[in-house]
Structure 1
Amino acid sequence: MGQNNVNIDLSDLEGKWFINQSNFPMWLKGDKTSPTFNYTLVKKKKGLYLLDRVSYLKNGKTKNIKGIDKPKDSTNREFIWRGNGILSLLKSKWNILHLDKKQQWAIIFFEPTLFTPKGYDVISREATLNPETAQKVAEKLSELGITQKLKTIDQSRE
């Protein structure tokens, strides 16, 4: 995996992912900390989807944003997110630019919406990237031509 032309098995995305680096304003303002994504594979009539739960701390309390990620095609690299409840009116597009071959870290891109700019997240299975993984991430960001400076996201639980 990790090549743009390689299909991703949705089950490889299941579980908890920590947002380690980002340029997404929601994570840079400082009022929302320790963000994570949690994906659960669900089967619906029209195929497999990911139940998507974004969790973060705000004022010491855990908050969640829930939605469904629908794969755009069989490569499972591009998704359309639609929120649940009051957020069901919102949708956004995102894609996986790179997933490492052990499914331990990934680089994702979010297309701009009416409410948010385009952005990148580096996510991993660990709260903090070890030096070796951080080097691999930096190399891949450079290889992908991502020159925007991503900030390290604090994952310490308050």
Structure 2
Amino acid sequence: MAEPTQTDDVKPPTSISLRPPSKYVADPSQPPTTTTGEVFISPPLEWLWRTWAVTHSTLSMWRSARNVRITYKPYKPDVKPVANDNLVEYEKKSGKGGVKRVEGIERPDAKIPAAWMWRGKGLLVIASSHWEVLGWGERPLVGNAGEGVERWAVTWFAPTLFTQEGVDIYSDRKEGLSKETADEIITALKSLKDAPKVVELVEKLMQDVDISLPWKEGA
């Protein structure tokens, strides 16, 4: 049984390669291989615990939103395996109104690496969804993109009663990913030959998510 990697000694990949969602793998309990033929390594939880800007998405729900961000942090860290506290925040694309919030708790899948089952809090407790990290990494910023490094992640969401399956691209920078990184990620997504439905979604529905800084704060 594959266990999600949760150690601090895992070095973030510097190249971009993605695995197909477990839905399209014959034995999802086995370590999946990526588009470059390497074994997929799960991101350490500590690496995931931060605020991410959603920069690109196939999901129609973000067409009328801007400044979509997701914050992961540990939920009851003394309880093993550690679950994530998940906070989604977004604004109306028009800029009117305040910040919308969706809160949930997600527990790791015992059989699939870097996968979680999300369940809403409060009135959304009846809602649930399954999602997985398809790829992640860090790479240096160059040229006009700035200095330092940019962290990126690609997530896949299984279909629910209310939504079709979808793909999001994350950046740890409020202003989003550099064009070079975003283009390489989208190219890698289109190379997921074992997941033709994902390729179709990316080719037909992947769009930029509107970013208009500064982010609004508060509910």
TM-score (norm 2): 0.65
Within the candidate set 89, 94, 111, 2:126 is matched to 89
Call closer, same or farther: CA 1:69–1:85 in 2, change over 3 Å.
same
Call closer, same or farther: CA 1:101–1:130 in 2, change over 3 Å.
closer
Report the Cα distance in structure 2 between the residues aligned to 1:60 and 1:138, rounded to whole angstroms: 32
The runs of at least 4 consecutive aligned structure 1 residues that moved more than 6 Å come to: none
Q: What's the counterpart of residue 34 of structure 1?
A: 67
Task: Describe how 1:14-29 pairs up with structure 2 within 5 A.
Answer: 14-28=49-63
Q: Percent identity?
A: 28
How far 1:67 sits from its partner (Å)? 0.4
Q: What's the counterpart of residue 168 of structure 2?
A: 121
Task: Confirm or deny: 8 A CA contact 1:9 1:76 kept in the other structure.
Answer: no
Within the candidate set 91, 106, 116, 2:153 is matched to 106
How far 1:111 sits from its partner (Å)? 0.5
How far 1:125 sits from its partner (Å)? 0.8
Q: Flag the structure with higher strand content.
A: 1
Structure 2: 5+ residue stretches without partners: 1-12, 20-39, 140-149, 194-198, 215-219
Structure 1: 5+ residue stretches without partners: none
Query: What per-residue deviation string (whole Å, max 9, x for no partner) do you get for residues 99-122 of structure 1?
Result: 125681111110011111111101
RMSD (CA atoms): 2.1
Q: What's the counterpart of residue 152 of structure 1?
A: 208
Task: Report the AA paired with residue 73 of structure 1.
Answer: A
Query: What per-residue deviation string (whole Å, max 9, x for no partner) do you get for residues 49-104 of structure 1?
Result: 11100000133310110001111037651110010001111110010111125681
Matched, 1:62 2:99: yes
How far 1:157 sits from its partner (Å)? 3.9
Task: Confirm or deny: 8 A CA contact 1:16 1:125 kept in the other structure.
Answer: yes
Q: Secondary structure at the match of 1:104?
A: strand
Matched, 1:47 2:81: yes
Task: Confirm or deny: 8 A CA contact 2:87 2:104 kept in the other structure.
Answer: yes
Task: Confirm or deny: 8 A CA contact 1:41 1:51 kept in the other structure.
Answer: yes
Call closer, same or farther: CA 1:89–1:152 in 2, change over 3 Å.
same
Q: What's the counterpart of residue 190 of structure 2?
A: 142
Call closer, same or farther: CA 1:36–1:119 in 2, change over 3 Å.
same
Task: Report the AA paired with residue 60 of structure 2.
Answer: P
TM-score (norm 1): 0.87
Report the Cα distance in structure 1 between the residues aligned to 2:186 and 2:115, rounded to whole angstroms: 22
